[in-house]
Amino acid sequence: MKKNTMIPIVLVAVVLVATVFFLSTNKGNKKEVVSVATQEITAPKDVDKNKTNNQKPAKLYQPIPVEPMSDYIKQLNTRMAQDLGLYRGSKSAEVLDLYRKSKENTDNVIIKIEEYFDDIAQYQIQTGRLMISCGDLNKKLHIQRQAIHQESTKLTEMFFNKYYFYQGLYDSGVCKMMGTKKDPFWTLLKLARQGDEIAQLLLLQNIEYASYEYRKTVDIKKHPIEYMQLRDEAIGYLHKLASKRVYQAAERLGRLYSGRGWPVVPKNPLLAYYYYYLANKTNSFERKPFEENLDQFYRVLTDKQKEIVDRMTDNL
């Protein structure tokens, strides 16, 4: 009688053990599939977290397959090179030109600033530059005003141009937006999420500017999780743009992974070379020639790493 009752109990136990083993195996397989699908790589254990603003390191990504160059991207690359260059006439240099321009009062400065902020989508590069100029504005103005009242000071035209620029910036009231819901950073973030390529390209840079001590629109210490989410979103945009052969995005990723940019990702010599190579390959327009020496990034690789990057760049 006891033997007959023991047999079903043993069978049930065997079935339970097999079920648990099957479920745990499938769970592991499922996790692996998701990881491959998102092309996400686990960050190395020896990453120096101090290099990434004392926060969890950004995700590392395998390069997304690169698309063929389209006419639209060719035009976009040319426009970005023209807009982001630092020569006179570019959008990046407009604020500097406004700073240097001869002026007798603050009127033209205020008019220009209001024009920029009335259409941030059109003037996102200029508004970003102006918000940088807001840093320590009161201190800058105090120094300028003191100099005006010192009889021994030789005041040049350039001095007054500078003074009227900062006074106009102060009188415009745009610097009071810093750290508030009206800060243009939020408009630029919205534009990036709506698919604006310039906003996507500049988002990581704008996050850095928005996190400065004088601004704290993005407060890394108070809201580290929100910051890390924004950071990873911005890096994701750069990867996506680079996969479409947007030259500026590939170059910025090369700088990040070579340790030359804002320290938000661990250094990775393979990805640094890959994205610099892609930037060099994509540079098919006249302005903003590629400036990095690819050989120096290739020489530091091990033989095994060279084999890997040779395969990665083979079809570019």
Quick: pLDDT tens for 1-19: 444 544 444 444 444 444 4
Q: What is the mean pLDDT of residues 270-280?
A: 93
Q: Exposed/middle/buried for 208, CB within 10 Å: 0-12, 13-18, 19+?
A: middle
> Residue 197: which H helix or E strand, with range?
helix 197-210
Q: What is the mean pLDDT of residues 271-277?
A: 94
- The pLDDT value recorded for residue 174 is 97
Lowest mean pLDDT among 22-26, 78-82, 174-178, 211-215: 22-26
Does residue 226 carry a pLDDT above 90? yes
Helices and strands of the chain, counted as H and E runs: 14, 2
Nearest to 292 by CA among 304, 303, 307, 277: 277
Both structure tokens of 172:
């415009």
Nearest to 249 by CA among 214, 294, 200: 200
Q: Answer yes or no: are the C-beta atoms of 241 and 197 closer than 8 Å.
A: yes
Does residue 63 carry a pLDDT above 90? no
- The pLDDT value recorded for residue 55 is 59
Q: What is the mean pLDDT of residues 195-208?
A: 97
How is residue 58 annotated by DSSP? P
What count of other Cβ atoms lies within 10 Å of the Cβ of residue 265? 25
Does residue 39 carry a pLDDT above 80? no
- What digits encode the pLDDT tens for the residues 129-142? 999 999 999 999 99
Residues 6 or more apart whose CB falls under 8 angstroms from that of 208 comprise 262
- What digits encode the pLDDT tens for the residues 16-35? 444 444 444 444 433 322 22
Does residue 289 carry a pLDDT above 70? no
Q: Answer yes or no: are the C-beta atoms of 80 and 138 closer than 8 Å.
A: no
Euclidean distance between CA atoms 288 and 134, whole angstroms: 28
Please name the amino acid found at residue 232.
D
Please name the amino acid found at residue 229.
Q
